[in-house]
Amino acid sequence: MGLLQGKVAIVTGGSLGIGAGIVHRLAAEGAAVALDFHTHRDAADAIANAITGAGGRALVVQADVSLPADTQRLVSATVNAFGRLDILVNNAGIEQPTPFANVTEDQWDRQIAVDLKGPFFATQAAFRQFVAQGGGGCVINISSVHEELPMVGNSVYCAAKGGLRMLARTLANELAANNVRIVNVGPGAIATPINATTLADPAKTQALLAEIPLRRIGQPTDIANAVVWLASDQASYITGTTLFVDGGLMIYAGSL
């Protein structure tokens, strides 16, 4: 029996990259999964079809996480389809690295809206559902090493991810009375569309690899495996912290 048998999960940004990896792994562990997509309907449908074809349960919902009404609709659609909600994975995110002096108000608004406001209100909608069904539940934010590690030329993204760090720590206190856990997973460099430009450039890839003690770029499954475990009852005493899944990038100390 899967680690998440009988559980119901939502994954935002579930059609691509890390999100798609998480959707597959949650479903493989027995969860019914609602996967939200913003733009890539075909990719979302293909994932859902693969899951249902293998005997699992999946639902595709279009939602822009930056709109609280959309995330509320996502939660409602999930509960209508599967009867309850146990796990929210706030995965959707965008990144627009730009030197500080050139950042526009639009870039600030969009990144903060998707990367920070989105998880805030999606969590609020999920929490209300958790309370309505008697408490218990788990929220996993896909944050980044950059919730703690500064990155030159990426100030807005770092501000958003730093915000997610304090959001998790604050809500872990506030929601504990309802037995709701909130945990961040902090990926390092993972092979996904968000990283495509860097990974298409051999020099940039080599420079990145040089700062990763395990000397490889991560895969979505590396993150998904951590999410499955953190969302399961095996991690029932874990809340308010961050698990970095980064090949050691966070603690890189140079070479001999």
Return the range that interacts with ligand BGC (CB under 6 A); candidates 20-28, 49-57, 66-74, 191-199.
191-199
Among 118, 119, 162, 188, binds ligand BGC (CB under 6 A): 188
Structure tokens belonging to residue 61:
């919902």
Q: What are the backbone angles phi and psi of residue 245, rounded to the nearest 5°?
A: -125, 90
Which of 131, 16, 111, 11 has the alpha carbon at shortest distance from 71?
A: 11
From the list 7, 25, 146, 181, which residue makes contact with ligand BGC (rule: CB under 6 A)? 146
CB of 230 to ligand BGC, least distance (A): 18
Report the residue from 71, 78, 123, 195 that binds ligand BGC according to the rule CB under 6 A: 195
Q: Does 119 bind ligand BGC (CB under 6 A)?
A: no
Q: Is position 189 an interface residue for ligand BGC (rule: CB under 6 A)?
A: yes
The span from the CA of 249 to the CA of 109, in Å, is 28
**If binding is defined by CB under 6 A, does position 70 make contact with ligand BGC?**
no
User: Which residue bears the tokens 């872990």?
Assistant: 172
Q: Examine residue 145 and tell whether it contacts ligand BGC (CB under 6 A).
A: yes
Nearer to ligand BGC, 137 or 247 (CB): 247
Q: How many chain residues touch ligand BGC (CB under 6 A)?
A: 9
Active-site residue flag, 157: yes
Q: What is the DSSP code (8-state) at residue 168?
A: H
SS (H, E, C) 72-124: HHHHHHHHHHHCCCCEEEECCCCCCCCCHHHCCHHHHHHHHHHHHHHHHHHHH
